[in-house]
Structures are given as C-alpha cells and as structure tokens.
C-alpha cells in the first residue's frame, strides 16, 4: 500500500540518513592529514587554484578572475577584473606580513593580510583561514575558535561555521594530485560580507 501511494505521489523520495558522526570526524581528520593541514596551518603545503570570485559587503560588490597559489609558507593572490582591466596582487610571507599591489596609491604593506585588505579596499576577506576553508578543512582553533562542521552522506563537508563565518560547499571535483574531492563552489558569509567562488581548476605548486 505504501509503495502504491508513493507511485501516485510524485513528490515521494528516499531521504538519506544523516552521516555517522564518528565516521565523519575520522574522514575529516584523514582529509586534513592528507592535505598537510592536520595542525591547522592554512599556509601549508604548496597548492594552487584558478576560478571566478564575487565579493560584496552590503554596499559595494565586484567580481573577477582569481588565481591563488601557496608554497613555502607564502601565499599569492591575483584578482583581475576583465571589464575594468584592473588587477590586484596580494603577497603574504611566512611571518604573516603582507603586500598589496594594484591600488591607485601604489603598493601598501602591513603585518596582517586581512586587515590590510580591509583598510585598503573595504572588503572583509579572511585570507589566512581561507587557505583551509577553500580545501574543505577547518582553520586552527587558536586563531578562530572551535569550528562546527556539517557533513553530507558522502562524509564531505556541507558547511563549516568558524570565527563568525559560515562557509558552504556545493559540488566537488577531483584533485589529480591529492586524489581527494576538492570544492567546486564555495559561499562564505559573515553579516553582510559575502565571498562566492567557483573553482575552475585545482593544481599543485
């Protein structure tokens, strides 16, 4: 009878059970270890991605092409807007010092990459933590506090909440180097600040 009712009701579907929390935690730890992120150091090891990013803060918005590379404790971001033909480059050294280039006033430097970007552009971008979040792993608790992670039935993260930010993942694609599924679409938000990223290519530096 139940089967007949399900056939008559087009909306019937099987709901997947929630993932086992122990298995999900073990899968996440294994993922962090494979990516070299077990200690929460988001600057290690070497990797790269290319994609499209959109930023908004409730007042202004912008979008462009993003290239992100990390290696040897250094982080390099290149954001280019094809329509305006403008580009910005952010370099972060192993000690956290940062240099931002491409601004009308020239090159600017600072001791904190996120603060430098915020002061110069008005964008709130958690640069250090994104090195982990972009790869589907929580950042170190000492920096942003305890993370809450929701998992899908495949034991991959659906959502990471940490440091006031909510990072959501929709879609994954294979990484030929780590042999792990890597995020294809990422939406991060805190208050009115938004960062949306579509990853076109994952790579290794």
- Give tens-digit pLDDT for 34-47: 888 888 778 777 88
Domains of the chain: 19-203 (2.50.20.10)
Cα–Cα distances in angstroms (integers) from residue 171 to residues 84, 147, 189, in the given order: 30, 21, 18
Judge whether residue 6 has pLDDT over 50. no
d(CA 197, CA 185): 6
d(CA 32, CA 41): 10
Mean pLDDT of all residues in the chain?
A: 85
Take residue 17 and report the two structure tokens written for it.
């059970």
Q: Please state, as a whole number, how many other Cβ atoms lie within 10 Å of the Cβ of residue 128.
A: 22
- Give tens-digit pLDDT for 14-35: 445 556 788 988 999 999 998 8
SS3 185: strand
Q: What is the pTM of this model?
A: 0.84
Note whether 65 and 55 are within 8 A (CB).
no
């Amino acid at each position: 009878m139940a089967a007949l009712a399900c056939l008559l009701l087009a909306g019937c579907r099987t709901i997947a059970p929630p993932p086992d929390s122990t298995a999900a935690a073990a899968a996440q730890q294994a993922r962090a270890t494979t990516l070299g992120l077990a200690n929460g150091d988001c600057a290690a090891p070497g990797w790269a991605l290319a994609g499209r990013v959109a930023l908004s803060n409730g007042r202004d918005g912008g979008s462009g092409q993003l290239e992100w590379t990390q290696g040897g404790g250094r982080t390099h971001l290149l954001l280019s807007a094809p329509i305006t033909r403008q580009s910005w480059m952010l370099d972060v050294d192993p000690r956290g010092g940062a240099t931002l280039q491409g601004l009308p006033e020239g090159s600017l430097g600072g001791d904190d990459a996120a603060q430098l970007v915020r002061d110069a552009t008005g964008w709130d971008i958690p640069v250090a933590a994104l090195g982990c979040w972009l790869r589907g792993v929580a950042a170190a608790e000492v920096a942003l506090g305890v993370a809450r992670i929701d998992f899908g039935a495949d034991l991959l993260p659906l959502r990471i909440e940490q440091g006031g930010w909510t990072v959501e993942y929709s879609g994954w694609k294979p990484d030929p180097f780590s042999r792990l599924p890597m995020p294809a679409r990422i939406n991060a938000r805190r208050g009115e600040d938004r960062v949306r990223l579509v990853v076109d290519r994952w790579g290794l530096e």
